[in-house]
Structure 1
Amino acid sequence: MTTRSEPEDGRRDPSLNAIMSERRQLINLAYRLLGSLADAEDVVQETYARWYAMTPQQQEAVESPGAWLTTVAGRICLDLLGSARARRESYVGQWVPEPLPESTEWINGRPGGSMADPADRITLDESVSMAFLVVLESMTPAERVAFVLHDVFRYPFAEVAEIVGRTPAACRQLASSARRRIRASRPPATPAAQRAGIVRDFKQAWEAKDIDALIGLLAPDATTIADGGGLASAVLRPIEGDERIARYMIDIAAKVPNLTILERTVNGQPGLVAQQGGVIVTVAAFDVVGDRIQRIWAVRNPEKLRSWTADHGSRESRW
C-alpha cells in the first residue's frame, strides 16, 4: 500500500516536500508574532492540520500552498494575540518573550533532538532581538501582524489585508503606526563587539560582587524586568535605577554561592545564562545603549527555558 508521501517508486512526494519546506518560514513568523516558541510550534502544527484536513482535490486547487499556509498561520496568530492580552493580565509577575539560544533545534517541532533539520532553526537577526520583541508587545494585534508580515517578511499589503481582514490601505496605516513605535524606541546602534564587551564586564563584576563596577556599567535609569512565571523567589515588579539593580545582583550572588554565570547568545545578542548545579535557571538578555546597559530581561520561568534545558548535555558540548 502506498501513500501520497510514499509513491510507488519510493521517492518522496515533491508536493509534500514543498509543503514541509514552508515550516521554517512559519515558525519564524509565528515566533515573532507571539513571542513564544511553544505557541509558535502549536500554531504551525494547527496550520498543517488544517492543510491535511482538506481533500487532495482541495489541496490541488490551492494556487500557492506557501501563501495559503502563511495566511492560515497569520490568522491563527491574530486570534491568539487577541486572547493573549487577557491571559497576560492574569500572569503572575512580569511577562517577557521567550528567550532563544543561538542554535535552538527541533525535531517535529519539539526541542531536544540531536538530528534536527537545520531548516527548523529560528533565524536570529535584529527582528528577533529581545528589545524588538518587547516593542512588538506594545502594539495592537493588527499592528503587530501587519508590521511583521510587511516590514520583516516583505509581504505586499494586498496579501497582508487578506490575513488581517482589513483593506490594504488600512494595513498600510497599521504598519506605519507600528514603524513609528519601533523608531521611537530604537536608540543609535551600539557595535556588536562593544555590546559583547559590556555584557562580559557585567558578568565579571557580578562574579566579583563589585557593586561600584556594576553601577558603572548600568545607565542611571536602567531597568531590570524578571519573568519568573510565579516562582516564589521571583521579583514581581521591575527594578529601576543603577544602584538598586546592582544591589539586587549582589544579593543574588550572596544568596546563591554556587551560581555559575556563562556568556551566551540570547536572541541573537550577547547575553548571560545562570546555572545552578549544572542546570540553567535564568537567561538574561541585555539592551545596551552607548556604553551602558539600559535594560535587562531575566527569564526564570521554566516553561520558557525549554529550548535551553532540553538535551542540555549535547548542546552544551557544542557551545
Structure 2
Amino acid sequence: MAGERKALLTGITGQDGGHLAELLHEEGYEVFGLIRGQNNPRRETISRELPYVRLIEGDLTDPTSIVRAVEASQPDELYNLAAISHVGYSFKNPTLTASVTGLGVLNVLEAVRVAGLADTTKVYQASTSEMFGGLDYNRPGAGYNEDSLFHPRSPYGVAKLYGHWIAKNYRESYGMFVSCGILFNHEGERRGLEFVTRKITDAVARISLGLQETIELGDLWPKRDWGYAGDFVRGMWLMLQHDVPDDFVLATGETHSIEEFLTLAFAEIGIDDWRPYVVQNPEFMRPAEVDILLGDPTKAERELGWTREVDFPGLVSRMVAHDLSMQSSAVRV
C-alpha cells in the first residue's frame, strides 16, 4: 500500500509488544518485530497470533544486528519495548539486566543514527515507574509526575534509568524525535506467568478447577498503580503522534495492594476469603521492596488526549476470565 507507515517493535514477544502490534496493524501500519535467536520458543506463537508481523532476527546486546534490523525495516516509528523486565530476576542477574535493559537502549538509538534515520524515525523508549523507587522528595502524598525525582531500588530500575537518560541525551544532542513513556504497572491476559498479577489469576483459575490447592507469594502489602496494558500501548502510540518529543507518565492515579488484587480475583470464582489458599514464601521477597507507586497521568491526559477504558476491578475480572478459559480448554484436551 502506497504511503503505508512502517513500525519496528523490539520486545515483540512480550505483553506490550503483542498489544501494540495489534493496534498498529489496525491503524494500517506495516509491522516489523525484532526477535532474538533462530530457535526462539515464542516464534511460532507470534507467527500464529500476529501473522501480519514481519519478524527480523536481532539482539539488543548485538549492535550490528540492530543496525541491520533498522536498515531492513526503514521504520517511521521504532518502539523499544525489549528489556529484562522482571524486577526480582534483575537482582539475580544484574549484569545481564544492565546489558539488555540499559545498554540495549543505547544500541537502538545508535542504530537509528548510524542507519541515517535520525531525522526521520520517531523512537519510543519504554521507561518505567520503577525508576522512582517509592521515594519522592518533591510531591509528598501525591502521584509521581514527569518532574519527580528518581531513586531506583532494583538493578532493573537502575538500568531503566540509564536507558531513560540516554534517550533524552540523544533527543537533545542529535535532535532525534525520542519520547519516553514512564509507565506504571500495566497488566492483562498477555502478562507472563512470572509476574505476580498473572501468577495470581492463573492460580485462581487452577484452584477453581481443582488443579492446585494453594499459591506461593512474597510480600502482600506493596501497593501499585495498576492499569490495563491495552490502554497503555495506545498511550505509547499517541506519544509518537504528538508534535514534539517529550516524556509522559501513564498511570491510573490510584493504588491497590496485592491483597486487594487477591480479594477481587478469588471473588471471581466465588471465594470470599483467599487466606487459606495463599502461602507466603520468603524466596519471593525482594532485598529492597518499593512500598507504593502512584502515578499522575495529568500531562498525558491533557496533551495527548489519552484516556483509559478498563478500571481495576475490570482488569482483574478480565484476567481471571481469560485464565479460566485457558485452563478449562487445557483440561478438556
Q: TM-score by structure 1 length?
A: 0.30
Larger radius of gyration: 1
Structure with bigger helix share is 1
Q: TM-score by structure 2 length?
A: 0.29
